[in-house]
A and B are shown apart, each in its own frame.
Chain A
Amino acid sequence: MFEACADPKAIEGLIWAACYLTSAKHVLFYWSFLTVLLLLAITAPAALAMGFVGATAARSHLAPVSWLGKIYIWMVRGVPDIIFFLFFVIALDQVIEYSKSLIVCESHAWPWQGLEFRVCPEAKVPLGKSSAFWHQAYGFMLAVVTFAIVFGAFVANVIFGAMNAVPRAQLETAEAYGMSRGQVFRRVLIPQMWVYALPGLGNLWMILIKATPLLFLLGVKDIVYYARELGGSKTQAYEYPHGDWRLWYFIGLMVFYLVFTRISEIGISRLTKKLSHGQATAGGEALRRARA
């Protein structure tokens, strides 16, 4: 990267460290932190949307819809999330390729034959000739959808509970004013539900942050992948030979996550305070008293 780094074997001390930490692979490592943040930025709203749909379905007056919503919520509760991660990443891929094969392939043979999953080459996603970038982007997209499905169920559980926590009297008063069911839902239930949902959602945000290293298991080149690659011992054949430094890289990741969760914790507690203003809860009452 820099001229001084042209011959790493000839330099030492601080300059060596500076050159080492700015090598091409380290730059990729730093970029992979953005992958994690990108995953969070896409997954959080997607999971919120999934959760909202799930919770609304679970509250539905139509029995089959309500069952679907409840099964969705409880299935993810009872089973370790990693099983879903490992399952969905392959299952989604196969379902996508099978659906595509029904359209683009000539033969519609059942693809699960013996010990392989076989569709015609045109149905591969992404196509065999696509660039490495598309393969990575597709893998990342599968990971995002998987995260959204799993965390959507967690969110649905929280929102379902929060909707039930809104005092009955509030809804009955709205009905007494002549509001329709939809109006009660939009004007009274939704705005009041958030303060009850916030502790649970805040906790889920922390769980989501702590679930991001699982990207590594889904085959995405994330921070865990690079920490293992860069930290592994390097012989003299490499530009920057060193021993087994993986411990130090993982300590670095640990610090990253500790700082990240700590900042989130502070942010969430501020948001809770803000949302508690004027609410008929213990938190709201405490704020009112502090002012008076």
Chain B
Amino acid sequence: MSMTCWETIQAYGLRSIGIGENLLPRSDFTLCQQFTLIGSGMLWNLYFGLLALIAGFFLANAVALARTARNPLIRKPAEWFVFIFRGSPLFIQFFLAYEALVLLPKGGVDILGIHLNTAWTTRAWAGALLVLFLNTAAYSAEIFHGALKSIPKGDLEAAEAYGLTGWKKFIRIEWPTMLRLGWPAYTNEAIFLFHATTLVFFSGFPAFQQKGDALYYANYFADKTFNPFIPYPIVAFYFILLTLAVTFFYGRVNRHLNRHLPSNIRSRIRLRPQLIR
């Protein structure tokens, strides 16, 4: 049975989320099949990356603020959180989280009379997302904390001279400046978080019914055809596109954050591994 490329796209375009053909191709692997299935897997990379980044952004702001607190009861937990997630490999964090979630009682737990089902937490869409969310929050908190500390003293003094104090000073002066200073490094973090999503299905979390991400399918084809020279360049191609898209979007935000500055002193985004994971 040979399919046209359009039929292949209809059959496998949404295979990674369980829509379309049930069985993966087993023989006569065409280029179209490889492009389609690997592309379909990118849906998972986008899902993990986008949700973890959005949720992680809020937690990162809170943790970065908590790290500047004078009260050690607030500061210390934030410091430990950042230390644990930045100091250990993401790969180990995935394994650890999976083993911990598996140990939750199978039938669910009863808290205050409410029955909570726990089986879903071991699934990648929930468990791996939780790890990625905490992980990116820790890395981003470190970036934002560094940016908070490097706000020019003059800016703060000027704010006080205008009578801004406390929350008002923070929301109008400190927070926007922090974002502006930290944004280039945060762009790198976003790119590497998307890259990190490829680890999910190689680190304990099983791919149920062969519903996996782009690298899962690329690895499937490489295993079946004994030819790594086609599927891996395809998944690399998709990731280069994704990296370009992330750079473009974050570049637009960066321009917005720097819009009040003369063009020669705006901070430009450079891809550099200085401040990243």
Seen from chain A, the residues whose Cβ lies within 8 Å of a Cβ on chain B are 75, 77-83, 86-87, 90-91, 94, 112, 115-117, 154, 157-158, 161, 199-200, 203-204, 207, 209-214, 216-217, 224, 227-228, 231, 244, 246-247, 250-251, 253-254, 257-258, 261-262
Interface of chain B residues 80 through 118 with chain A (CB within 8 A): 83-84, 87-93, 95-96, 99-100, 102-103
Min CB gap A197→B, angstroms: 10
Query: B227 to A112, Cβ gap below 8 A?
Result: yes
Interface of chain B residues 235 through 277 with chain A (CB within 8 A): 235-236, 239-240, 243-244, 271-277
Query: A254 to B88, Cβ gap below 8 A?
Result: yes
Q: Which 3 pairs of residues, A with B, have the shortest CB-CB distance?
A: A80-B195, A87-B232, A210-B89
Query: B95 to A214, Cβ gap below 8 A?
Result: no
Interface membership of B43, Cβ < 8 A: no
Complex Cα distance, B240 from A231, in Å, reads 38
Query: B224 to A83, Cβ gap below 8 A?
Result: no
Query: B95 to A250, Cβ gap below 8 A?
Result: yes
Query: B218 to A250, Cβ gap below 8 A?
Result: no
Complex Cα distance, B74 from A58, in Å, reads 47
Complex Cα distance, B100 from A231, in Å, reads 13
The residue that A115 contacts in the complex, of B93, B224, B228, B273, with Cβ under 8 A, is B224
Complex Cα distance, B95 from A112, in Å, reads 35
Query: B228 to A90, Cβ gap below 8 A?
Result: yes
The residue that A253 contacts in the complex, of B90, B92, B226, B244, with Cβ under 8 A, is B92
Which residues on the B side are within 8 Å of A117 (C-beta)?
226-227
Q: A80-B194, A262-B83 are in contact. List 8 more A-B contacts (CB 8 A).
A: A77-B243, A78-B236, A83-B198, A83-B215, A112-B227, A115-B226, A200-B274, A224-B91
Query: B219 to A81, Cβ gap below 8 A?
Result: no
Interface of chain A: mostly helix, strand, loop or mixed: helix
Min CB gap A276→B, angstroms: 16
Contacts A/B (CB < 8 Å), 14 sampled: A75-B236, A77-B243, A80-B215, A82-B199, A83-B232, A86-B232, A200-B273, A207-B277, A209-B89, A214-B91, A227-B95, A228-B95, A244-B103, A257-B92
The residue that B89 contacts in the complex, of A75, A213, A251, with Cβ under 8 A, is A213
Complex Cα distance, B51 from A224, in Å, reads 28
Query: B95 to A86, Cβ gap below 8 A?
Result: no
Complex Cα distance, B87 from A262, in Å, reads 7
